[in-house]
Amino acid sequence: MFDGEGYFEWLWQRSGLGPNYTKLVTLLYTTEYVPTLVDDENRRADGNALLDIYCQENGYDFPPVEEFDHSGCSVLEMMIAFATRINLELIGDPEGTYTGLWLYRMLDNLRISQYDDKHWDGKKAALKVWIWLHKKSPFLLFPISKKVIDPRKISEWERVNIYLSEIYL
């Protein structure tokens, strides 16, 4: 029988966030990621693919729909998958050594990394996530300084590439 709770724990482990982030991880897991740009559909697809990886690693043929509704993609899934892709494709680390650091950088850029369980403010954290999801400034996973184009109108993948080029080149 498929274990949805096990999947949540597996995601949390992959995130690299410690046990003092219960409330933030739960918020991100219970918030649906809905891309506003066509090019960001890939982020949702990568997030959804995590469930397939979990099922393969744990001996499930596939996630039974009747046991576990997974029609959408959570913000947590999207962020973990995005951090994994950045780590693999831009850094070249197939072991995932820096995946947790990339995820934390995203949380920090959204200004929600400070909301551990001890300093939890659910309303502020949820509002900042909402602002990001709806492409409202100033909260972005990877803010860029180039003013050539409105950063809210380019995909997350393009933005992270610009972000890295601004920092490291």
Q: What is the pLDDT of residues 96-113, one digit of tens each?
A: 778 889 999 999 999 999
Query: What is residue 140's predicted lDDT score, i.e. its pLDDT?
Result: 82
Q: What integer best gives the mean pLDDT of the chain?
A: 86
Query: What is residue 91's predicted lDDT score, i.e. its pLDDT?
Result: 78
Cite the DSSP H helix spans in 16-147: 22-30, 41-57, 75-85, 99-109, 122-133
CB 26 within 8 A of CB 65: no
State the DSSP code for 17: -
Residue 62 one-letter amino acid:
F
Which SS3 state, helix, strand or coil, does residue 114 take? Answer: coil
Q: Is the predicted pLDDT of residue 4 greater than 90, yes or no?
A: no
pTM, 2 dp: 0.89
Q: What is the pLDDT of residues 117-130, one digit of tens each?
A: 999 999 999 999 99
Where do the domains of the chain lie? 4-133
